[in-house]
């Protein structure tokens, strides 16, 4: 079963074709990384997946349904979670409170004036489970604004997980991090994928992270899909080396 099926999507900005005829299939439980040089179209492609804007042409299926024209909000409610859009993280609230807000949104309780005891306990359970998933149980009562960068990122990912997504979209989760924190987040993403079977699409600049985590790597170059394959296949691909890895090294 495929979570995501993207069929020849193109996105034009005026004369510029940022994404050209790109197709991608993500199977349930798969971790697919998207790489490519600066300006390759990675963020644009991601925006097409999450619904930030519609493609100029092409089709996007999620869980077997056509979502090409759906808004980000409608995609989120169908189980597609993207970290930075959901994470209006509140630095002055605790980790627990932040995740609870996401859990309430997920349960559709956020705008309700009154929540029953049974509902409140369901939300509480979701928060506890999510805290465990990201290994922040011990820091549940800390203010997010006072956490180290890596823990803040873990809290952001937790907010996405509280939505119980079928697909998790991560746009450079280790951006701006030092080695220690990059390792922490890489291990977290690996656990979510390997132990908890999340389906994940990841944009990542850090090649160590990509080759460490991905089942499959998709290389974009000048808006086109240059290559797709396992980390071994991509590492051995000469056009990829020419377009990207050679420059990055």
**Would you tell me which residues interact with ligand ATP (CB under 6 A)?**
13, 16, 18, 36, 38-44
Q: Is the dihedral of CA 220, 226, 229, 234 positive or negative?
A: negative
Specify the residue, 38 or 195, whose C-beta has the smaller distance to ligand ATP: 38
Residue 16 CB, nearest approach to ligand ATP (Å): 6
Tokens representing residue 53 in the block: 């804007």
Among residues 2, 7, 23, 43, which is the contact residue for Mg ion, using CB under 5 A? Answer: 43
> Considering the complex, what minimum distance in angstroms separates the CB of residue 41 from ligand ATP?
4
The smaller minimum CB distance to Mg ion, of residues 42 and 75, is found at: 42
Measured from the CB atom, the residue of 71 and 197 that comes closer to ligand ATP is 71
Nearer to ligand ATP by C-beta: 91 or 246?
A: 246
Nearer Cβ to ligand ATP (44/152) = 44
Least distance from Mg ion to the Cβ atom of residue 48, Å: 13
- In a 13 Å sphere around the CA of 211, the CA atoms on its Cβ side amount to 10
* Helices within the chain (DSSP H only): 42-50, 72-77, 83-86, 95-107, 117-133, 149-161, 179-194, 207-213, 231-236, 238-240, 246-248
Tokens of 88: 């209006």
Q: How far is the CB of 203 from ligand ATP (least distance, A)?
A: 7
How far is the CA of 43 from the CAs of 53, 113, 128, 162, 177, in angstroms? Answer: 12, 38, 32, 24, 19
> Is 241 among the residues that bind Mg ion (CB under 5 A)?
no
Kindly tell me the sign of the dihedral angle through the C-alpha atoms of 40, 42, 47, 48: positive
How big is the CA angle at 236 (ends 231 and 237), to the nearest 5 degrees?
Answer: 100
- Based on the shown chain and the rule CB under 5 A, indicate whether residue 129 belongs to the binding site for Mg ion: no
CB of 83 to Mg ion, least distance (A): 14
Would you count residue 56 as binding Mg ion (CB under 5 A)? no
45: tokens are 């492609």
CA distance 243 to 224: 12
Closest to Mg ion by CB, 43 vs 72, is 43
Which one of ligand ATP, Mg ion, none interacts with residue 44, CB within 5 to 8 A by kind? ligand ATP
Query: Contact, 123 vs 107, CB < 8 A?
Result: yes
Q: Locate 181 and state its tokens.
A: 């924190």
43 vs 212, beta carbon nearer ligand ATP: 43
The least distance separating Mg ion from the CB of residue 37, rounded to whole angstroms, comes to 10
Neighbours of 127 (CB within 10 A): 23
Distance CA 227, CA 212 (A): 18
Residue 76: which of Mg ion, ligand ATP, none does it interact with, CB under 5 to 8 A by kind?
none
Nearest distance, CB of residue 10 and ligand ATP, angstroms: 12
- Residue 226 contact, options Mg ion, ligand ATP, none, Cβ 5-8 Å cut-off depending on partner type: none
Placement of tokens 């460490």 in the chain: 212
Q: Which residues bind Mg ion (CB under 5 A)?
A: 42-43
């Amino acid at each position: 079963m495929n979570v995501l099926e993207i069929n020849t999507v193109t996105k034009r900005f005026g004369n510029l074709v940022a994404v050209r005829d790109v197709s991608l299939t993500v199977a349930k439980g798969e971790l697919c990384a998207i790489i490519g040089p600066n300006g390759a179209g990675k963020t644009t492609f991601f925006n097409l997946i999450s619904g930030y804007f519609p493609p100029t042409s092409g089709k996007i299926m999620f869980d077997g349904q056509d979502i090409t024209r759906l808004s980000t909000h409608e995609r989120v409610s169908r189980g597609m979670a993207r970290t930075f859009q959901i994470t209006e993280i509140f630095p002055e609230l605790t980790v627990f409170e932040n995740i609870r807000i996401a859990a309430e949104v997920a349960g559709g309780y956020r705008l309700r004036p009154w929540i029953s005891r049974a509902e409140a306990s369901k939300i509480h359970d979701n928060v506890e489970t999510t805290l465990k998933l990201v290994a922040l149980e011990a820091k549940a009562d800390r203010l997010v604004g006072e956490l180290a960068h890596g823990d803040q990122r873990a809290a952001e990912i937790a907010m996405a997980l509280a939505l119980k997504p079928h697909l998790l979209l991560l746009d450079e989760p280790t951006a701006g991090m030092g080695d220690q924190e990059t390792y922490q987040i890489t291990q977290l993403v690996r656990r979510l994928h390997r132990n908890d079977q999340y389906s994940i699409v990841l944009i990542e600049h850090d090649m160590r992270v990509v080759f460490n985590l991905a089942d499959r790597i998709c290389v974009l170059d000048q808006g086109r899909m240059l290559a797709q394959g396992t980390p071994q296949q991509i590492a051995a691909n000469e056009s990829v080396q020419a377009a990207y890895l050679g420059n990055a090294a």
